[in-house]
């Protein structure tokens, strides 16, 4: 499935700890930039944990890829998202649905 009507581009970053467990230093590495469709989940469709904490409030549709991992950070425009679940809906590897939580604070990413 080619997203010829994509409404955004998503930058996929890998987040790694380059420090220690005691003094963590988080580094972000740009993996790829993909066309995507970004949809906000309605309040009733948001994925929640018992107790009401929101785990995913957006879904990002992208062509199938293997670069997106559970620890990936997705950046669309100035919005940053943490991956909650990667879903391959028909197991045909034509596209992925990435359920994400929009992070409240932006992340500073060095893509040099």
User: Which tens digits make up the pLDDT trace of 57-89?
Assistant: 999 999 999 999 998 999 998 899 999 999 999
Residue ranges of domains in the chain, CATH in brackets? 8-102 (2.40.10.270)
Rounded mean pLDDT of the chain?
86
Beta bridge partners of 19: none
CA nearest neighbour of 40 among 58, 23, 62: 58
Model-level pTM? 0.81
Q: Which of 20-24, 44-48, 77-81, 101-105 comes out lowest in average pLDDT?
A: 101-105
Is residue 2 pLDDT above 50, yes or no? no
Q: Any idea what the Cα angle at residue 69 is, between residues 89 and 60, rounded to 5°? A: 50
CA nearest neighbour of 36 among 95, 109, 105: 95
DSSP 8-state assignment for residue 41: P
Element housing 3 (H / E):
none
* Residue tagged 């590897």 (tokens): 93
Average pLDDT over residues 42-68: 92
Is residue 25 pLDDT above 80, yes or no? yes
């Amino acid at each position: 499935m080619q997203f010829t009507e994509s409404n955004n581009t998503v930058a996929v970053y890998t987040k790694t700890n380059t420090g220690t467990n005691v003094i963590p230093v988080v580094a972000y590495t740009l993996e790829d930039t993909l066309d995507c469709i970004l949809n906000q989940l309605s309040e009733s469709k948001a994925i929640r944990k018992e107790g009401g904490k929101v785990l995913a409030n957006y879904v990002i549709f992208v062509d199938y890829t293997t670069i997106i991992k559970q620890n990936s950070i997705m950046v669309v425009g100035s919005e940053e998202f943490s991956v909650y679940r990667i879903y391959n809906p028909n197991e045909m590897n034509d596209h992925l649905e990435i359920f994400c939580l929009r992070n409240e604070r932006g992340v500073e990413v060095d893509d040099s």
